[in-house]
Amino acid sequence: MAELLQKVIEENRQGEAFAPFAEDPNQYQKKFYIESYGCQMNFSDSEIVASILQEEGFGATRNYEEASLVLINTCSIREKAEQTVRNRLQAFKKIKDNRPGMLIGVLGCMAERLKAKFLEEEKLVDIVVGPDAYRTLPGLVSEAEGGQKSVNVLLSREETYADIAPVRLDSNGVTAFVSIMRGCNNMCTFCVVPFTRGRERSRDAQSIVNECKDLFDRGYREVTLLGQNVDSYYYTSSGEGVTFDKLLEMVALISPLLRVRFSTSHPKDITDDVLHTMARYDNICEYIHLPVQSGNTRILQHMNRTYTREWYLSKVKRIREIMPDCGLSTDVISGFCTETEEEHRDTLSLMEICRFDMAYMFSYSERPGTLAARRYEDDVEEEVKKRRLEEIINLQNSHSRQSYQNDIGKTFKVLIEGNSKRSDQDWCGRNSQNKMVVFPKSTYNLSKGDYVMVKVNSATSATLIGEITVVA
Ligand code: SAH
Ligand code: SF4
Ligand code: F3S
């Protein structure tokens, strides 16, 4: 069981599908199945959807063949993400053909992008719901049960689902994701998110703190605060507003035993206040995901990232001045419109300077409706994009290996998340810098959710291997 959970968590991190699992699915008369693709926001939304459906008497199942409602929470970020969803729908079709009455709903970013067109393109789909319309899902299901296809893709300027307590599905009981905002106002020219998720809005700070407190009371020991651009979090109802550094502090103060992480930071908005707050509280993890996208200023302008190469480098310098041991990761896109060989080499040289511990790397995929699709020609040949991506990946692999090797001999505080993937004789958990650490359980009587000090003896390119020195 723990093996399975770990597998699901791992897959989750890599943005692949997961299927939630209710503790006792038999207490519900109707069953739903949900699969999620894309970023953590989508996985987090699926837990909100599960909560809404549970109120309506639906229980989650892991087996879509026994579900009366099959939902797929989709991603539009790259063409490949959409293709994966379409292939998955074909698998559902086979089941549906033999099970009249089974309903199929498409949620998330692809639903928002394609709207009612989805019903024409994929005949098996009964329900299409955008990310801001999940409260209307029960009504849409009723309509569909009555034989009418139903769609709600209205975007909202206010919806944050602040009052909905997400049903934690497929949880390890130790770490949880908490959405703190929705949407994005940045309009990076390559990106579909502002179109699929709508305007940026921040969730009530107190409702975030309450959710985190509740998680802590239920035994969780780590929360990751989620937003497309957490640094622009700002909530105000009356009086003084809450900025992201203040919110971080409010969550960190819940308990020194509750770890706090967050994602994603934007280089244009991350402030010294955030960095100082991170440094001040031991329980705020020293790890920042700071997507750079490109190391060349002209390309960054073309992408409308609104910072330069120098600005990005100065932010990284500042992070390391304030937190010398801070873990750092990034996102990179190869072959954006008009990118020259020299500009590509600027990305490689920036990576050499920053020495990221980890990176998500992609070749540019044109998305319909974005500014880049409308204004710029997707003129870097596919082969060139692929070759540049390979160079980026090779360089990053060598940096990641080095970064993990450098940790040999060091001792880290690790939060135990569960059994390691390979053996139930070993624990796994992450250090503050977000690196996975695996170590023998030994004779200590520990459980998941405990903190331990682990000395690293060896490393692969994505895991540190060590032994317990002290029970923290
Ligand atoms: N809000 C985050 C990113 C969210 S999307 C930020 O601003 O950094 C996650 C990543 O997908 C992006 O950082 C980018 O690297 C990648 N991405 C987005 N659109 C893409 C596209 N059209 N082609 C290739 N990669 C893309
Ligand atoms: Fe997309 Fe840019 Fe917003 Fe990130 S900041 S979600 S890349 S538009
Ligand atoms: Fe994908 Fe939507 Fe997230 S496009 S990356 S699921 S916000």
Closest-lying ligand to the alpha carbon of 366?
Answer: 1
Query: Does ligand 3 have an atom closer than 6 angstroms to the CB of 226?
Result: no
pLDDT of residue 420: 96
Amino acid at the residue 119: L
Domains and CATH numbers, the chain: 3-152 (3.40.50.12160), 175-405 (3.80.30.20), 411-471 (2.40.50.140)
269 CA distance to ligand 3 centroid (A)?
A: 21
Task: Characterise 114 by phi-psi region: left (phi > 0), alpha (psi -120 to 50), beta (else).
Answer: alpha
36 pLDDT more than 60? yes
Residue whose CA is at the smallest distance from ligand 1 atom 2: 228
Query: Does ligand 2 have an atom closer than 6 angstroms to the CB of 228?
Result: yes
Could you tell me the pLDDT band of residue 27, with boundaries at 50, 70 and 90? low
Could you tell me the pLDDT band of residue 47, with boundaries at 50, 70 and 90? very high
The token pair at 226 is: 């989620």
Q: What percent of the chain has pLDDT over 90?
A: 87
Closest-lying ligand to the alpha carbon of 74?
Answer: 3
9 pLDDT more than 50? no
Residue whose CA is at the smallest distance from ligand 3 atom 1: 75
The stretch 292-307 carries a mean pLDDT of 98
225 pLDDT more than 90? yes
The stretch 126-141 carries a mean pLDDT of 97
d(CA 451, CA 459): 20
Q: What atom in ligand 3 is closest to the CA of residue 76?
A: 4
304 CA distance to ligand 2 centroid (A)?
A: 10
Q: What atom in ligand 3 is closest to the CA of residue 197?
A: 7
Per-residue pLDDT of 405-446, as tens digits, reads 999 999 999 999 999 999 999 999 999 999 999 999 999 999
Share the mean pLDDT of the chain.
Answer: 93
58 CA distance to ligand 1 centroid (A)?
A: 34
Taking alpha carbons only, the member of 231, 223, 325 closest to residue 272 is 231
109 CA distance to ligand 3 centroid (A)?
A: 6
250 CA distance to ligand 2 centroid (A)?
A: 26
Per-residue pLDDT of 67-126, as tens digits, reads 999 999 999 999 999 999 999 999 898 888 888 889 999 999 999 999 999 999 988 999
82 CA distance to ligand 2 centroid (A)?
A: 18
Taking alpha carbons only, the member of 140, 142, 78 closest to residue 113 is 78
Q: What atom in ligand 3 is closest to the CA of residue 40?
A: 3
Could you tell me the pLDDT band of residue 471, with boundaries at 50, 70 and 90? low
Amino acid at the residue 412: F
396 pLDDT more than 50? yes
d(CA 278, CA 259): 11
